[in-house]
Structure 1
Amino acid sequence: MSCNGCRVLRKGCSESCILRPCLQWIESPEAQGHATVFVAKFFGRAGLMAFISAVPEQNRPALFQSLLFEACGRTINPVNGAVGLIWTRKWNLCQEAVETVLRGGTIRPISELAEDSAADDGEIDEKRPKTPLIGDRRCQMNCDLELHLRLPLMEEKGRPGTPSMNSSTTGDDDGFVDRQQRLLNLFV
């Protein structure tokens, strides 16, 4: 007999179904179907099956639960998702969204979360140190990558169109090319 996940996805089910063990933590058959449809709509049917088949069998129920919570978190808080709800201490909203999905209800983005995340960003920046602490001292970081837009000079020539067919690589007499490390300046 077909499991509830395969039934709602209209997919053939067998004894070796990868979806069946993922749904056993959900009590009612209707809730299993609602959860499967919601996660499959969010991640795609092929994506859901690829995620599930990529992990060991004993981890598949936890993976499905994690995907369900992330899909609900991203639906009600599209910017930060479930992790953002944990960070802002609003995890209960994600739990309520999962319960709504399991009952067959519809969830929508919560507009106040977008406003709160913009307001929280300022609070977080004020509380968080600008540089990480190591011991009792602040670690000074040089984050300037010197990425500047430079226009090429007109007299520069581009790379030749066809590389030489008879090119060869030569090295030092002892067989080693260059013992010193060379750093390439890729941003010039």
Structure 2
Amino acid sequence: MKFPQRYFIDTKLLSRSTVGIILLVIICVWISGQSSHRSLFQNSVISTSILGTAFLLFISLGLYYGLKLKDNIGHVLTKENIKKLSDKTPEIGSIDFDGPALGDGIGGIIVSIIAWIVISIVLVFLLYFLGIFFWVVVLLFTAMLYWIFFRALRLVFKNSKYCRGNLAKSLGLGLFYSFLYLSWIYGIIFLVNYLL
């Protein structure tokens, strides 16, 4: 069979479609499990099995057709991304807080005002630092998933020059890499179910 020189898939397109497919499968399995009263463990195993089968087919066919990934996402965790996301933290004027009523009279009013100011300042600093922390954690998690999934996939598809047109070799390597990618997920599911 004659194949074109190379197939390239954009990493950005692949990452968006992967997230969409994962969410769609999980939601469909969860909705279908509502009527049959499946447990979270059963839904997790079914979802992972469906996604694992799709992943096996994707890798095997990608190796068979000589698929390559084109990295067009770049670095996820940069100073500019952290700065851009930290700008989304709440500003001082966006907090509306009503302090507790401390009593009648001038003493209660003064204590209420002081408590309101102190609590507002503490909340502003907490929201600011927790906002930065939240976005940095989101960026770190995204960078981790990107490296684990897409960088490793690029390494997998470097074997496509050896597997192009050879279905047995493509399926063998697809099974091997699918086992490597999915065994730890199954391990976590079974550990959580039987140990906790």
Q: TM-score, normalised by structure 1?
A: 0.21
Q: Which has the higher helix share?
A: 2
Structure number with bigger Rg = 1
Higher relative contact order (CA 8 A, sep 6+): 2
